[in-house]
Amino acid sequence: MSYTGPEFDSPAPRRSRRGAMTVAVAALVPGALLGWLVYEAVGDTGGPGQGRTEAKAPSTTRPAPSPASPSPASPSSASPSSTGGRPAPDASAPDALRGKVVVIDPGHNPRNFQHTAEINRKVDIGTAWKECDTTGTATNAGYTEAEFTLDVARRLRTVLQQQGATVKLTHNGERAYGPCIDERARIGNEAGADAVVSLHADGSGAGNRGFHVILPASVHAGAADTRPIVAPSRELGERIAGSLVRVTGSAPSNYVGGGTGLVTRQDLGGLNLSTVPKVFIECGNMRDSKDAALLTGGAWRQKAAQGISEGIVSFLRG
């Protein structure tokens, strides 16, 4: 199922003059359609092995064709993230997250490029050995993913702390490089986090647009055992995806996830080694000029932080 957001809409047809009542009714339709499409957008996941790799290389995946328009879901097929008509938890309440621990993981590090030997060192991710960390991607104008993720992480921390959460960042730009992907997972585990969110931006081809949330697959090998966190991580991801659509107006990815904004992966050490609910978020594609214009704007990054926080609140409050 595909969602067409405000940034993707075709030009509206010319309006006919039919009187005030017709105009008023017509004005209600986009809002109602958007609400239904947001509900539908979080109801399924794409297949494994799509989107990000921790050794970040630009993707050459072509945009997937939009599937046929779906029929409305029946109550029995409703997503766990659906509120069923109930109002969403108030994410602005000062005590909304009192007693909860949230770990925010800003992907990469602005100084990783100065420490190539260190970040290329291999670490055990349970199922394989992968590089400690990577430099990440950047916009065509040179705004780096590491700068982006650190900025959004700080904004998100402020919003969550205002709601009473105890918030820990895996790093705050103070480190020379890293931390390595196994340490990032360990920080969340040792904090006993109620939720962990790893922030990223993709480096796919031009024309590939939108965000996607990466969920852990069921992995049981070596040091990795994600089986206890698969279900709660999926719920966390679904709620964040729905909130991002609503708050930012951005659409789910048009190149992975089948229009749902959800992708399941089994090759990411940050997920494989986690023992607490955790998701990755690719907030957009830095190599697409339209997505890059959003990601480089402070106003959009603040909306992204707000949308992610509201998804976390919804998950933690049930």
Is the pLDDT confidence value at 17 over 50? no
CATH level 3 topology of 20-46+92-317: Aminopeptidase (3.40.630)
Confidence at 125, pLDDT banded by 50, 70, 90: very high
Nearest-angstrom CA–CA distance, 222 and 315: 29
Nearest-angstrom CA–CA distance, 291 and 207: 9
Residue 246's pLDDT is: 98
Q: What is the pTM of this model?
A: 0.75
Is the pLDDT confidence value at 261 over 70? yes
Least confident residue range of 77-86, 260-269, 304-313: 77-86
Is the pLDDT confidence value at 7 over 80? no
Residue 92's pLDDT is: 59
For residues 226 and 302, the answer to whether their CB atoms sit within 8 Å is no
